[in-house]
Amino acid sequence: MSINFEASYHLCQLSQPLLKASGTGNIVLVSSVAGVFALSMLSLYASTKGAMNQLTKSLACEWAKDNIRVNCVAPWAIKTAMLEDLKVRDPKYRENLDKMVSQTRIRRLGEQNEVSTLVIFLCLPAASYITGQIICVDGGRTVSGY
């Protein structure tokens, strides 16, 4: 809870006066698809990410009057060095990862730049009317129904 949620919460609280003083502000939190729907064996992790999603919505409502936008990016399985290392070292993890990919409409892992470019977009003036959103970067996983 401390790392996955409280750190972000406190950072938001510390940044709010500075963003308010600037006249415009933008916060992009990073959650997970695990905070949007249930996944077995991840109850604590999913709970912290669900809390992050709710924080996004609540702060967006509270801080809109100060011209501060708050959004959240919620990735699914993204190809990272840590994930690749686990896949090599743990056959059970590789099996679980294969299952995750099979449940994704776009049958592959996500790429890091597919998450980072969304974060960048949310920080641009082009996204100035977007606030309080949890945007899943998931290759269609959350709409797949299984």
Q: By three-state DSSP, how is residue 38 classified?
A: coil
The DSSP secondary-structure symbol of 66 reads G
* Residue 8: CA count within 13 A, CB half-sphere: 21
Which sequence positions are flagged as catalytic?
45
Contact by Cβ (8 Å): 76, 70: no
Nearest to 67 by CA among 14, 27, 11, 121: 27
What span, in angstroms and rounded, lies between the C-alpha atoms of 30 and 119? 9
